[in-house]
Structure 1
């Protein structure tokens, strides 16, 4: 029988998803969206269900990594992961495998840092990073 992380990785790649969560062999949540906003929304809606799950994500930087840690996920696979996210995972004791490691996550145009990565660049504590991301996303939704 495949492990949750193997199922999540396979599903992510085959279905061309942004991220997917598995727990005890069951699909818990998924999204086709890229970027952190949908991951944050899923975290807000399904925090308890996602605790102890395994996640596969297309791109994991520090900001996404902090949400994954906040959810108390046991294991993560990333197609692309930043050094900052790996450091957060190491500190939090979350196993992370990946296809490619990069120094930082860039914006979609590849002209600058991802806005969320820029926001949390100097933060070290996963919960501080999570709160900063939450503040930005909540602020955006109040302004729209």
Structure 2
């Protein structure tokens, strides 16, 4: 079985949000959004040449996958911008549905990660913007809980 097929199968049947496969090595996560890829990058996990399957891929996730050096990406839902970025960077990609944008979890506006990277074209800068946004959202959630 090809790595991308294994990743897709695990994504659809394993209850995961993100799966990366290369040979006998498999990384899985049930965390939401871009958090799994950010954590793997922060940990120094070598993802070069891996095949990735993720629930939803927008520009932010695409930039992180570019930075990680993955070789192929699949998502049930992918933005046109993400598809263009991956294709331009030579990363094979496929999806079931192409969408114009990703909305936030509340359904009230654009995804904050997409907003954070809207004007960014450099993957390393996208990672920093995503990390700052994750920290801000975590702080806002903690403040709302007090």
Cα 1:110–1:141, aligned 2, differ >3 Å: closer, same or farther?
closer
- Match for residue 105 of structure 2? 108
Q: CA deviation at 1:66?
A: 1.1
**Secondary structure at 2:69 match in 1:** coil
Q: State the partner residue of 1:37.
A: 35
Q: TM-score, normalised by structure 1?
A: 0.86
Task: Pick the structure with greater CA Rg.
Answer: 2
Matched residues in 1 for 2:74 and 2:135: separation?
A: 27
* Range with greater deviation from structure 2 (13-22 or 123-132): 123-132
Asked if 1:80 is matched to 2:77, the reply is yes
Aligned to 1:15: 14
TM-score when scaled to structure 2? 0.85
Structure 2: segments with no counterpart, 5+ residues: none
Corresponding residue SS for 1:113:
coil
Instruction: Tell me the C-alpha RMSD between the 2 structures.
Output: 2.0
CA distance in 2, matches of 1:121, 1:82: 13
Contact preservation (8 Å) 1:21, 1:55: yes
> Which 5+ residue runs of structure 1 have no aligned equivalent?
none
| Structure 1 CA distance for aligned equivalents of residues 136 and 110 of structure 2 | 20
Query: Number of paired residues?
Result: 141
Distance in structure 2 (CA, Å) of the matches to 1:5 and 1:17: 15
The alpha-carbon deviation at position 42 of structure 1 amounts to 2.0
